Amino acid sequence: MTHLPNNPVRGELVEPRDAARRGAAIRASTSSARTAILAVLAFATAQPALAQNASPESRLADFRTRVERLEDQDQIELLQASYGYYFDKGLWTEVAQLFSADGRFEYGQRGVYIGRERIRRSLLLFGPEGLSPGRLNNHMQLQAIITVAPDGRTATARWQGMVMLAQPGVNGQWGVGVYENQYVKEAGVWKIASLHFYPMAQTDYDAGWMRGATQMDGPSALFPPDAPPTEVYRSYPSNYIPPFSYPHPVTGEPITLVQPRDDIAGRE
Amino acid sequence: MRLLLAAVLLVTPLPAAAQMTDAQVRAEAAALTRRVEVLEGNRAIRNLQRAFGFYVDRGLWRDAATLFAANGTIELGADGVYQGPARIEEYLRRLHGGQEGLIYGQLNEWVTLQPAVVVADDALTATARWRDLGMLGQYHQHAEWRDGIYQNTYVREGGVWKIATLRLYVNFVAPYGQGWARLAEGEGLTVSQAARDFPPDRPSSGAPAPFPAVQVPPFSQPHPVTGRAVQ
């Protein structure tokens, strides 16, 4: 089964000039665009004098764009790191304000909450506002692959999310998962347009992942989501693959996935 | 930010700009180009190595192997050196059971952290050191932690960054239940069955010294403050 990830970058053709200067960071996803880019790359490589002859104004504009795309990546890293630091400590109001007005929040199989106020209230399902004593809610935000659209208005990122949980009187939990997020820049400020955390495995601390496998929570009856889960899957010991938002950094091709069979979810 | 300021300085003070000769403007633009390429290269290399981790995590052996240059090499722990994307792909596949993807109950998280990236001034080559944190196992059979350090090199070919050499110095693979502190000498790292059945192109580059022995993978980067090589 082939998955084409839901990605605002995908489908937009990368300007050859962009592709040439960004190297592996952003690649077009269609082979015709790739051919065009490769042709331009070869041309640019063969004729370095061409760039030298561009007017100072156009070269400055080019620098400005390239520096802005680098700054965009820093800002998105800061945004997502802040999400993690706030989420860890139950600062739900701060978390919710990282989202755009129609932002989407989806954690595992809990379904999708849409909009800041709905997101803020849904976060109370993870505990009260402000972490209470004896609770640990660490959600690390690691290993970012950030892809900013050539126009600098949207972006995607994949993150590795290790999790350490505790509550009074019970064993701790280890978890690990993947984020596939979308971002939008509004009035010069990057915000989370969609956060989707795919837990991959969760286990009791003492049992470890040889003997323990905790499944994900489903949609809350107490505060139902605005939409059902966008992807239905089971975590470890099954091995679902969260679709990739970015093309392969070297080949430029989208990643083709074969998901594990699941008779209940209806995957062949 | 410094680059942006430099760019702004070039634009704003018109009288000053007027005083720059064409040659000076060209030279400044060329210098800025190199600096931006180094910054972009740093980002591209982070994406490249992190993509390797994300692909191996999910059993996508071909996608992981095609991140390497045509003569790129991989060396994991005590297994020796495999060269070229085709050999690397087959080695990775065999190392994980021989099948495409993971099998039911297989956990294979290669968490890739703490990049120390140095891109050459010409933005054509780079080195990076990374921390590896592995969560490995097979449900109801075994579970391990892995600790390691990558010391890698990268090359930019046709504008695209690729992995030139990847070496993972495995410090230990420890059973989850007993933890790393109870490892005896030599328990923390062994040659994989995959490397016995599918021998490497070259033997191991050096005798690995896993925990509890002390192993300091050589630093290819100079000390960032003193600028001297770290022994």
Q: What is the CATH number of the domain that holds B138?
A: 3.10.450.50
Over residues B137-184, the pLDDT tens digits come to 999 999 999 999 999 999 999 999 999 999 999 999 999 999 999 999
One-letter amino acid at A263 equals D
Number of structural domains (chain B) is 1
Task: State whether A209 and B143 contact (CB < 8 Å).
Answer: yes
Distance CA A78, CA A155 (A): 14
To test the contact with chain A by mutation, choose from B4, B21, B40, B132 the residue with the greatest count of A C-beta atoms within 10 A, namely B40
Instruction: Tell me how far apart the alpha carbons of residues B91 and B108 are, in angstroms, rounded to a whole number.
Output: 15
| Residue A62 confidence (pLDDT) above 60 | yes
Q: How many residues does chain A have?
A: 268
Q: Do B54 and A201 touch (CB under 8 A)?
A: no
Residue B231 lies inside a defined structural domain of this protein = no
Per-chain mean pLDDT for chain A: 84
Residue B161's closest CA among B35, B54, B38? B38
**In the predicted model, what is the mean pLDDT of residues A171-182?**
97
Of B3, B139, B142, the CB nearest to A67: B3
Q: What does the pLDDT look like over B118-141, one tens digit per residue?
A: 999 999 999 999 999 999 999 999
CB A8 within 8 Å of CB A182? yes
Q: Which residues in chain B have Cβ-Cβ distances shorter than 8 Å to A38?
A: 158
Please give the C-alpha separations between residue A222 and each of A214, A218, A219, in angstroms, as whole numbers: 21, 12, 9
B191 closest CA partner among B170, B211, B177 = B170
Residue B168 to residue A264: CA distance in whole angstroms: 39
Are residues A239 and B7, on separate chains, in Cβ contact within 8 Å? no
For residues A12 and A14, what is the distance between their CA atoms, to the nearest angstrom?
6
Please tell me which of the candidates A21, A176, A258 has its beta carbon nearest to residue B135.
A176
Preceding amide of A56 cis, omega within 30: no
Q: In 3D, which of A118, A141, A115, A126 has the Cα closest to residue A91?
A: A126
Q: What is the pLDDT of residues B182-218, one digit of tens each?
A: 999 989 999 999 999 999 999 999 888 899 999 899 9
Task: Say if residue B52's pLDDT is above 90.
Answer: yes
**Residue B209 lies inside a defined structural domain of this protein:** no
Rg, chain A, Cα only: 21
Instruction: Compute the Cα dihedral for B98, B103, B106, B112 and give only its sign.
Output: positive
Cβ count near A13 (within 10 Å): 15
**B142: nearest CA in chain A?**
A210
Q: Which residues contact A156 (CB under 8 A, 6 or more apart)?
A: A7, A8, A9, A146, A147, A180, A181, A182, A183, A245, A246
The CA distance from B216 to the nearest CA of chain A, in Å, is 23
B71 lies in some domain: yes
A41, A66, A208: residue with CB nearest B143: A208
Interface test with A, best of B3, B26, B58 (most A CBs within 10 A): B58
Q: How many alpha carbons fall within 13 Å on the CB side of residue B37?
A: 20
Instruction: Sort out which chain A residues have CB atoms less than 8 A from B44's CB and list them.
Output: 22-25, 249
Q: What residues in B contact A59, CB-CB < 8 Å?
A: 29
Q: Please give the Cα distance from B205 to B77 (Å, whole number).
A: 10
Instruction: Determine the residue of chain A that is closest to B176 in CA distance.
Output: A208
Task: Check CB contact under 8 Å for A23 and B32.
Answer: no
A268 band by pLDDT with thresholds 50, 70 and 90: confident
Q: Nearest 5°: CA angle at A235, between A232 and A238?
A: 100
Give me the phi and psi of B113, to 5 degrees please.
-130, 165
Helical packing angle, B22-57 and A56-88, nearest 10°: 30
B207 part of a folded domain: no
> pLDDT exceeding 70 applies to what percent of chain B?
92
- Asked whether residue A189 carries a pLDDT value surpassing 60, the answer given is yes
Instruction: Quickly name the fold that domain A16-211 has.
Output: Nuclear Transport Factor 2; Chain: A, (3.10.450)
Model confidence band, residue B15 (pLDDT cutoffs 50, 70, 90): low
Specify the DSSP class assigned to residue A48.
H
Per-residue pLDDT at A59: 85
Of A20, A158, A258, the CB nearest to B54: A158
B121: containing domain: 2-197
Token code pair at residue B58:
């999910």
Look at residue A28 and give its three-state secondary structure.
Answer: coil
- Contact between chains at B47 and A239 (C-beta distance less than 8 A): no
Model pLDDT for residues A104-143, shown as the tens digit of each residue:
999 999 999 999 999 999 999 999 999 999 999 999 999 9
For A200, the closest chain B residue by CA position comes to: B107
Instruction: Say what the ipTM of the complex is.
Output: 0.86
Cα–Cα distance between A249 and A193 in angstroms, integer?
Answer: 24
Closest residue in A to B18 (Cα) is A56
- The average pLDDT across A61-68 equals 94
Q: Which amino acid is at A229?
A: P
Confidence of residue A264 (pLDDT cuts 50, 70, 90): confident
Asked whether the beta carbons of B59 and A260 are under 8 A apart, the reply is no
| B118 min Cα distance to partner chain A (Å) | 17
Q: Which residue ranges make up each domain of chain A?
A: 16-211
Q: Looking at beta carbons, which residues of chain A come within 8 Å of B143?
A: 208-211
